[in-house]
Structure 1
Amino acid sequence: MKKIIYSLMFFFLMTSINAQQTPAPKQSNAISIEGATAHLGNGQIIKNSLVMFANGKITFVGSAMAKIARQGTVINAKGKHIYPGFIAANASLGLAEIDAVKATRDFDEVGAMNPHIRSLIAYNAESKVVESMRPNGVLMAQTSPRGGTISGTSSIVQLDAWNWEDAAFKTDDAIHINWPGSFTRGRWWLGEDPALKADPKYGKNIDNIKQYFMNAKNYLASNKEKTHLPYEATKGLFDGTQKVFIHTSGAKEITDAVTICKDLGIKNIVIVHGDGAESVADMLVKNNVGVVLDRPHRNPNNEDDAYDYTYTIAKVLIDKGVLVCLGMEGQMERMNTRNLPFYAGTFAAHGLDKEVALKLLTSNSAKILGIDDKVGTLEVGKDATLFISEGDALDMRGNILTKAYIQGRDISLETHQTKLWKRYANKYKSK
């Protein structure tokens, strides 16, 4: 009887396995896409455009009326739209598959101070969740750790790869810190007052972070008789080759975080979440600090915030001169990352210019992540990471991809979800 049960379990396991689409081969033939409306990702548009790329790099971007020989295969995209590949900042793609199954979750390590923990080596390139990003135009992501005070180190990946080594686009780009809050609520389940009040431990929590980085800085300047891996991992923060992403909200917390990091000699700072950042926008601009905003589809954090605060915060910050992009941390964040373009569309529906909203996923993301020399816009010399959509890619009604390329490679837009859609579409057509 046991043999029968084990055989059945093995059968169901094997029949349920469906690996990600085979990654596309390296580009071998040049491509010319003409007739589409090109959204360059920097706020500019070219109607009736011509975009050409070869060997994974863009070789021409301009008007289709230009008297220039087309290269290789010519794609007629008249009436369609072409965009740079969307980039998801502060996502945890590939670090968990099923939230309810602990064995598939690899984004949160034991311990409070983990700057040496690298999210990249835990990245699952064959994740079904990752696969489902591409049909909506999300072609790159910053895969970031969670948990603790210092969560670990993120890396930037492209979403069509055999393994994490192939996926890596920029390794160990930033260390992530969960900054303590200056207010706290009592634990009502223990009979404590649940009202919001000042946290008496805030100062001590800040001192712990300061002391940790001071110790790391002193270690790096010492003879290093004994290797300390966590301290070694912070070297990039002090020599300027690595950024620090500080996850916090509140004007006081943001100000404290930026001031303390500057005092420690950490210059490349990014604020994640950033509710309340509009109150200290001048300080952020002065110190060249970017903000990775949360998704707009949520309730405001504070009782006195405007009802539409989360929908208008992007425009408010951009109007003040702050560099802003869109992140994905929150509930169901990995699955919801595929909706990245529609969150930007929500900002556009609440006062932000459509092409400026697009920058939240393209040029702004690339600048904040430090990869704008290679991706983020349709420009000659940059990677041919782009896609063709039948309509407006920030609107779910128009976001219908016909082609997508990562570094010039013609990637598959087929996923387990599209297979199920076709299966059941055929089922109901037959009746």
Structure 2
Amino acid sequence: MKKFNTYILLAILMISGYGFAQQTPASSQSEAVTIVGATAHLGNGEVIENSLIIFEDGKLTQVMDATTTKMQYRGEIIEAKGKHVYPGFIAPNSTLGLVEIAAVRPTDDQDEMGEMLPNVRSLIAYNAESKIVESMRPNGVLLGQITPRGGRISGTSSVVQFDAWNWEDAVVKENDGLHINWPSSFKRGRWWMGEDPKLKPNKEYVEDVQKLSDFFAASKAYLAGSKDYTNLPYMAMEAVFNGKKKVFVHVDGEKEIQDAIQFKKDQNLEKMVIVGGYHTLAVAQQLKDNNISVLVNRPHSTPKQEDEDYDYPYKLAKLLNDKGVLVGLESSGQMERMNTRNLPFYAGTVAAFGMDKEEALQLITLNAAKILGIDDNYGSLEKGKSATLFISEGDALDMRTNKLSHAFIDGRKISLETHQTELWKRYSEKYRNQENN
């Protein structure tokens, strides 16, 4: 009897799993698609009010003004007059697919034990069937940089697209960057251990920075030597030194940012990106002069210091952009995986606080693609690039009108159904029936 009950339980679990399974990834594009009449926001600052967009075999073959051409339509025709077309939004510095339920340890694979972990690759831990990843697509977030956390050097990120069977199918750019958590020159005491919780200078700051420098020096020495033994962390640094990997430095303080800039010079690093960068405005000219871009943390936050403007987080991206710094948006922080779906609305907030709407769009399209090194194929609607795009009934940066009717990744028409959309439809019908009664 116990054995029979066990089989019954397993059967119920399997049926429940199928009921809540991820949408099946789309098949490769089989015929050309023509989108006619939509307002096309190209992602590079340009807008075509009455556009004609054609793509086949996963690539854009035509992006033009429909009023000035007699181009023959091809394949499936989508009449989109009154709607808007955008390139797929890109979410940098994300832990999507690395954690499903934060309170359930077996579903949390965002970090590893240790301090210097350049050899840790987030890509192989990425869960393409995550239900949270699936929930990004209805808002137009179609690609992301999957990034490890923890340690002084967290590891190596990769860029993926959000409609795949597994990480091998999902990968867009493998091992794109090394992530460093820069030490803080101030710290708070651990109140749970009886320490004073007030902010105070970190006496170990100089020592912590020196440990980073020592690790870089040791890696260079190992790579230049005979390699009599295998050291995976040192070996993983080779792509940093030859410029194949960018260095993403997670840092907020003004002094710390200046020290990170000096570190770039001392280590002769070719490519560096500041992540978070709360106080980057104070050193914007140095960032520009050293060709360092910034991924600004989500603007839906409050000022960190009482003497700052109330809208400082809302306008930081615009102010940096005005000073010539290449800027993108990222959404790390509290409930970061779920909140990543709000990425377009973060850009909308930046636009509401002074930035041109098309420039704000670039923060999550072409600028993000440039920072991640995928702009040759993604980030804008241009002939020859990937047909990774979506059609919205209205302004995609406004949560009231961001309603997708179609979405494509590499030309594949993807599902916009998720567990959340099913619940939305279910309860919308419930209250509609109550109104009718």
Residue 388 in structure 1 maps to residue 391 in structure 2 = yes
Within the candidate set 128, 132, 136, 1:125 is matched to 128
Within the candidate set 40, 53, 56, 1:54 is matched to 56
Q: CA deviation at 1:191?
A: 3.8
Find the aligned partners of 1:357 and 1:364 in 2 and give their Cα distance: 10
Which residue is 1:147 aligned to? 150
Query: Matches of residues 169-180 of structure 1 in structure 2 within 5 Å?
Result: 169-180=172-183
Which residue is 1:182 aligned to? 185
**One-letter code aligned to 1:262:** K
Which residue is 1:106 aligned to? 109
TM-score by length of 2: 0.96
Query: Matches of residues 19-58 of structure 1 in structure 2 within 5 Å?
Result: 19-58=21-60
**One-letter code aligned to 1:110:** M
Which residue is 1:64 aligned to? 66
**What are structure 1's unaligned runs of at least 5 residues?**
none
SS at match of 1:26: coil
Q: CA deviation at 1:237?
A: 0.8
Q: CA deviation at 1:302?
A: 2.5
Q: CA deviation at 1:2?
A: 5.5
Find the aligned partners of 2:307 and 2:144 in 1 and give their Cα distance: 34
Residue 243 in structure 1 maps to residue 246 in structure 2 = yes
Find the aligned partners of 2:133 and 2:182 in 1 and give their Cα distance: 28
Find the aligned partners of 2:260 and 2:245 in 1 and give their Cα distance: 17
Find the aligned partners of 2:160 and 2:239 in 1 and give their Cα distance: 19
Q: CA deviation at 1:27?
A: 0.7
Residue 355 in structure 1 maps to residue 343 in structure 2 = no
Find the aligned partners of 1:147 and 1:157 in 2 and give their Cα distance: 21
Query: Matches of residues 370-409 of structure 1 in structure 2 within 5 Å?
Result: 370-409=373-412
SS at match of 1:151: strand
Which residue is 1:75 aligned to? 78
Find the aligned partners of 1:213 and 1:397 in 2 and give their Cα distance: 48
Which residue is 1:340 aligned to? 343
Aligned pairs, number? 431
Distance 1:194 1:303, change over 3 A: farther
SS at match of 2:399: coil
Within the candidate set 300, 304, 307, 2:307 is matched to 304
**Cα-to-partner distance string for 1:312-367 (whole Å, 9 max, x where unaligned):** 11111111111110112111111111111011111111111111110011000000
Distance 1:430 1:262, change over 3 A: same
Q: CA deviation at 1:253?
A: 0.5
Distance 1:311 1:4, change over 3 A: farther
Residue 417 in structure 1 maps to residue 407 in structure 2 = no
Find the aligned partners of 1:231 and 1:24 in 2 and give their Cα distance: 39
Which residue is 1:216 aligned to? 219
Distance 1:70 1:328, change over 3 A: same
**What are structure 2's unaligned runs of at least 5 residues?**
none
Q: CA deviation at 1:12?
A: 4.9
Find the aligned partners of 2:5 and 2:336 in 1 and give their Cα distance: 36
Q: CA deviation at 1:34?
A: 1.0
SS at match of 1:160: coil
TM-score by length of 1: 0.97
